[in-house]
Amino acid sequence: MVALSPNAHLGNSLPGTLLAHRLNGVKPSPSMAAKTRVDALRAAGRRIVDFTIGEPDFPTPRHIVEGGVTALLAGQTRYTASNGTPALRQAITDKLRRENSLAYEPGHIAVGNGAKHVIYNAFAATLNEGDEVIVPAPYWVSYPDMVALHGGTPVVVPCSVAEGFKLTPRALEAAIGERTRWLVLNTPNNPTGAVYTRDELAALGAVLEHHPRVWLMTDEIYEHFVYGGATHVSPLNVMPGLADRTLVINGVSKAYAMTGWRIGYGAGPAPLIKAITMLLSQSTSCPGAMSQAAAAIALDGPQHTVAEAAALFETRRDRMVQMLRTLRGFDCAPPDGAFYVFPGVAGLIGRHTPAGQRLCSDVDVALYLLERSGVATIDGTSYGMPGHLRMSFATGVDVIEQGGELLRAAVAELS
């Protein structure tokens, strides 16, 4: 028996040249790696307060689950069209008209196994070696690696706290080059919760109008979770002239607590959707039939559970921000959307643990908080913005308060 080291680099873990060179620059998803670590610690008997997970902590609404069960009992257990069932694609077009004032037909919709799957295949369908994709930072962890996996080059544009973690027109213009193929815009944003205003989107659209070869990918998966005076605006609502080079990404995972059902979708020009569908047909064949039936019920059915979830998350947001603002070394502004806070922890960097170890980075801070207090967070470096932590408030207020007390004790022990 040959034992392979679990920590071996992908490029050296198999003999010869079996693995593709493009894997050398790609790492596993940090958020999924954090979940794996939390699960392992819990299995070892540790009590862990988990602020890493990016999914609602409540179950899928009952009427959606019952719809999925009904679909199974009715025999919806077979292959479907690669780009989704007609019923689901119609439900998506109706949703986009009703909630986003976007006019698409079913032929402009591709359904995948989660929104991530559609993004992945969009890059696969459009990127050639050396093509560039502009990714504002902080970014969702998978964007740059998915670009790299398809031979592209992620052009990361830092967006500072002073800018509200948002891309400015000047920064966008400076980042566009001869090989630029896409701008990825995520609003509301993971990990910061930043929400672009109508005026901010219009200003970015004005830049893109001067660069007709640059496409826009707009990830709106957190659209229903906005707080205070913030309002989600679909970028195409203010830059409709870009519709023929825009791919709208969304799904049911967040709004309907359906992460495990794995249904996401893209809406865009027919030639791009056709290319994505071809890739789907050669990879996964189609999404699960039962999951598609449930997703159609989610989109077509009553929406009160979505509003209730948003109100619940706002309460949790307020409590988490309040808690973090009492901790020495944390700097936390309330996010306008999504269900994450992205506090700065520069005040903890440079301090020493009880064992005398110096915390040199946000990665060190995250590891210290996990090992010392049992509170799991994700370092901001993984999101392209060192000096921060991402913490999810998609969990109960009691868990937030418990985590706060544990964090307070761990911070107090730093010198």
The pLDDT tens digits of the residues spanning 53-111 come to 889 999 999 999 999 999 999 999 999 999 999 999 999 999 999 999 999 999 999 99
Selection from 55, 57, 56, 51 nearest residue 370 by Cα: 51
What's the CATH code, domain 62-300? Answer: 3.40.640.10
State the chain's mean pLDDT as an integer: 94
Apex CA 262: angle with CA 261 and CA 266, to 5°? 135
Q: Does residue 33 have a pLDDT over 80?
A: no
Helix (H, G, I), strand (E, B) or coil at 254: coil
Is residue 290 within 8 A of residue 71, CB to CB? The reply is: yes
Annotated domain spans of the chain: 20-59+305-412, 62-300
Three-state secondary-structure class, residue 375: strand
**Percentage of the chain surpassing pLDDT 70?**
96
Question: What's the confidence (pLDDT) of residue 24?
Answer: 82
Q: How many CA atoms lie within 13 A of 383 on its CB side?
A: 31
Closest CA to 197 of 25, 205, 264: 205
CATH number of 20-59+305-412: 3.90.1150.10
Q: Among candidates 283, 363, 336, 366, which has minimal Cα distance to 165?
A: 336
In single-letter form, the type of residue at position 277 comes to: T
Whether 20-59+305-412 and 62-300 share one fold: the answer is no
> Residue 341: helix, strand or coil by DSSP?
strand
User: Residue 121 phi/psi, 5° resolution?
Assistant: -75, -25
With cut-offs at 50, 70 and 90, classify the pLDDT of residue 6.
Answer: very low
| Distance (Å, whole) CA 279 – CA 271 | 13
For the segment 209-236, the average pLDDT, to the nearest whole number, is 97
Query: Which residues neighbour 164 within 8 Å (Cβ) at sequence distance 6 or greater?
Result: 194
What pLDDT, on the 0 to 100 scale, is given for residue 334?
Answer: 98
Burial class from Cβ neighbours inside 10 Å (0-12, 13-18, 19+) for residue 173 reads middle
pLDDT of residue 2: 39
pLDDT higher at 30 or 175: 175
- Please give the Cα distance from 286 to 301 (Å, whole number): 23
Q: What is the pTM of this model?
A: 0.93
**301-347 residue pLDDT tens:** 999 999 999 999 999 999 999 999 999 999 999 999 999 999 999 99
The span from the CA of 249 to the CA of 254, in Å, is 13
What's the pLDDT score for residue 13?
56
